[in-house]
Amino acid sequence: MSLITETMRDELKKICRQIHFDEPMSHHTSIRIGGKADAFAYPETLEEVSGLLAYLRQKKLSYFPLGAGSNLIVRDGGIRGVVLSLTQGFSSLRLEDPAILYIEAGVGLPRLIEFAVEKGLSGVEPLVGIPGNVGGALVMNAGTPEGDIGRIVLSVTFVDREGKIVTWERDKIRFDYRESHFPRGAILLSTRLQLELSTPEAVREKVEKIRQKRIQTQPLNVPNLGSVFKNPKKGYAARLIEESGLKDVRVGGARISPKHANFIVNEGKATARDVLALVGLIKDKVKERFGVMLELEAQVVGEE
């Protein structure tokens, strides 16, 4: 049941120009599942972000900053409060120095990669094939075996829960394997990345090589969750899942990809319940077979 009354809806519309109510989160996740959010806002300016945070504090309503919706399981009951997406207003990128890139959180990773290719800047190639945006990539410290975004970050600017704009330099930011450590409730606005001077031809060659590898080994042409589990300290999650006999197993409309066992795909009518049932099955079977408790890389949010 929505926590937002009709009066609150009217008040929120005055604060944020682009806001929708009872918004299906299945429209905003890469695996195309998830119940409705009470409200879904696209703040386009810092004033709108600050105004929303002040209003939500006053009304004691929760909020959830959304990246591009990859590596995200939204439960079928949806999200109470307000989902905030910066994809409409925070989408600038520019060179500050020959190899230093300023980029806002709403920029999609494919656009970042293409910009780097055009400018002949190396360093973002490991992000090829990840269907996220810069804000989400920073929060998850997105990457692949070739590297992660944290290694090229110079600074990150964010809004804290109180609405204060804060910039952290690299030495203050802790990046770990598939996670970062910013203050709880922080809304990331932008980052500065240190890249390396190269040539468009050389960078494009690297990008295409990695892209072809992703196409051959990952189910990129169907709605998917991205990597479901983090790799354990020894070995690979996909190998453990496959050797547990789970590749191609289905629950409802969700399926463990026959192409890559650490991917769950939506075959058309999957629910979050289906996906979470597969997650539980994988954890149990891998623990039983190998004594390894896999840790989720995907984030789970929302109501049952």
Residue 178 bears catalytic tag = yes
297 among known catalytic residues: yes
* Contact by Cβ (8 Å): 162, 50: no
Strands 100-104 and 93-97, by their bridges, are: antiparallel
Catalytic residue (choose from 70, 190, 227, 257) = 227
Cα atoms in the Cβ-side hemisphere of radius 13 Å centred on 159:
22
Q: In this structure, are residues 116 and 110 in contact, taking their beta carbons and an 8 Å threshold?
A: no
Separation CA 89–CA 263 (nearest Å): 31
The residue count of the chain comes to 304
Q: Is 267 a catalytic residue?
A: no
Q: Can you give the C-alpha Rg of the chain in angstroms? A: 20
| Catalytic option among 32, 75, 178, 204 | 178
In this structure, are residues 263 and 226 in contact, taking their beta carbons and an 8 Å threshold?
A: yes
Residue with tokens 């409802």: 252
- Report residue 102 as tokens: 């300023």
Minimal CA–CA distance to 300: which of 60, 88, 35? 35
* Token pair recorded at residue 269: 């009518």
Question: Which amino acid is present at 214?
Answer: R
- Give the three-class secondary structure for 119: helix
Would residue 147 be called left, alpha or beta, if left means φ above 0 and alpha means ψ between -120 and 50 degrees? left
Active site positions, annotated = 178, 227, 297
